[in-house]
Structures are given as C-alpha cells and as structure tokens.
Amino acid sequence: MMLPTHALVGLAIAVPVSFAFPEFASVFLLSGLFGGIFPDFDLYVGHRKTLHFPVYYSVLSLVLIPVAVFAQTAWIIGVTIALVAAAVHSIMDIFGGGLELRPWEARSERAVYDHFRDHWIAPRRWVRYDGAPEDLLLSLSVAGPLLFVVDGQFLWIVVGALVVSVSYVILRRPLATIAETLVEGVLKRTLPDSLLAYLPARYLR
Ligand SMILES: [Zn+2]
C-alpha cells in the first residue's frame, strides 16, 4: 500500500491511546505516524526486506503491550505504539501487490520478506497495487474519522496525506513509465555499472 495509507493507519492506531493520555497525545500520535511510515525507509535499499519485519515487529509488540499497560510510562507506550504501527504496516503490505515496477501486471510473487522463515511472502493482492483505487478507498476510510478526532498539526498531516494519496493514485501508472524511461534513457547511459548496481532490480529490465 502507498505511504500515505500507512501514515494514516499509524496515526489511527495511536488515537485511542492519545485519548487516554491527553497530556502525551502529540508524542503518541507522532509515534504512530513514525511507526506507520518507518518500514518504507527501505524503499531503495532492499525494499520490503531491510526494514519490513512482519513476524518480529508483531512478536515484539505482543511482548511490549502488556509491559506498556502495566508500566504506564510515556516512553514505553510511545515505543510500543511505533512498533505496533510498524508491525501493522509490514503485515498490510502482504495484502497488497508484488514487488515490481508495474504491480498491476501481477507477475511478482514477492510481497514482504519473512526473516523468521527466511522466504518471501507472496502478495495476496486484496489491494492490487500501491496507488490502486482500492488503496485510495482505504486511505479515505481511515482519514475520514481522523479528520474529526485530531487537530492542530496532525489535522494538516491528515489533509496532506489525502492530497498526496489522490495525486499518487492519479499518477501511479504514468510514474512507472517515467521511471523506466529515466532509467533506460538516462541513468543506464550515464552511470557507471558500479553505481547502477545500487538501483533496485524492479527498475531494471
Ligand atoms: Zn511497506
């Protein structure tokens, strides 16, 4: 799923806790937001493997949730929220498309890497690809309630995520062609092989 969807889901995870601890609401919302987007920091370095841990994030979350409930310490709660959001992100990606330049062609059998079993989990394609109309629907359905429960800078983050979502959904398919043209027409002709080696495989034919 696209990054704005993950950001919104991360925020939504933090909302109930931020209600319970209004004095730390901003910190917890930030934790949810950060955990929601964190796995995708691996976009160009082993995407959906380097920072996506569907099993380990989930197990760690299950360990930390009771600790956070008993300790009631702000930083432990914050870390737990971020972990849960990162776990949900990693699991959500399994229900999206495969790791390929044009995921709507449904050729890749790689969704998210499972480090525990040491293999790629196949995409379920409930959301056919990141930026698909159903991805936007998911974004909208999470953002809708959020617009009524968050305020200040977080309200602007929700609105910003929605703007990026709509733009990305409109541009998603042309972007694949633009990326390919850029790689084939410019990068492959100008960059030395040593640098091209860093380009993710999905951009190379
Ligand atoms: Zn991801």
Distance from Cα 90 to the centre of ligand 1, integer Å = 6
Q: Is residue 151 part of a domain?
A: yes
Distance from Cα 93 to the centre of ligand 1, integer Å = 6
Q: Is residue 64 part of a domain?
A: yes
Q: Is residue 135 part of a domain?
A: yes
Find the range with the poorest average confidence among 32-36, 50-54, 189-193: 189-193
Q: Residue 112's domain spans which residues?
A: 3-170
Dist. CA 32–CA 12, nearest whole Å: 8
Q: Is residue 115 part of a domain?
A: yes
Let me know: does 53 contact 90? Beta carbons within 8 Å. yes
Dist. CA 9–CA 3, nearest whole Å: 10
Number of domains the chain is built from: 1
Distance from Cα 187 to the centre of ligand 1, integer Å = 25
Distance from Cα 134 to the centre of ligand 1, integer Å = 16
Q: In terms of Cα–Cα distance, which of 82, 107, 69, 100 is closest to 28?
A: 82
Say what angle helices 133-149 and 3-20 make with each other, to 10 degrees: 30
pLDDT tens for each residue of 80-135:
999 999 999 999 999 999 999 999 999 999 999 999 999 999 999 999 999 999 99
pLDDT tens for each residue of 169-201:
999 999 998 988 888 888 888 888 888 888 887
Distance from Cα 174 to the centre of ligand 1, integer Å = 21
Question: What distance lies between CA 40 and its chain's CA centroid?
Answer: 5
Question: What distance lies between CA 19 and its chain's CA centroid?
Answer: 24
